[in-house]
Amino acid sequence: RGTIVSANPAAERLFGAAAERLIGTPMRDWVGELHVGSSGGRAQVRVRRLAADGLPAEIAWVRLDPPAGPGYLLLVRDVSEREQAQAQL
């Protein structure tokens, strides 16, 4: 349903929010509209942060099947340094 059910320390740093703040909120609150209807994929997005400007990110996802439970695993990576380096070139 697009709700965050778990967040690791890296997600806390990326989004600038504690796991308790992230868990239970819609993923779209943090990454906008992201359609993950397939079994896996990648997308470039701009993530929202709690106490700062947003930042460019790359998201990869894979669908989880039982016994892990239905849902998706999302990996979010900050690509702001890469974009800054490309802009300087």
pLDDT score recorded for residue 27: 87
pTM to 2 decimals?
0.75
pLDDT score recorded for residue 51: 67
Q: Cα–Cα–Cα angle for 66, 59, 73, nearest 5°?
A: 15
Distance CA 58, CA 87 (A): 17
pLDDT score recorded for residue 25: 93
* pLDDT per position as a tens digit, 69-78: 788 888 888 8
**Looking at 3-7, 32-36, 53-57, which range is the least confident one?**
32-36
pLDDT score recorded for residue 4: 92
* pLDDT per position as a tens digit, 18-49: 999 999 999 888 887 777 777 788 888 888 87
**DSSP-derived 3-state class of residue 73:** strand
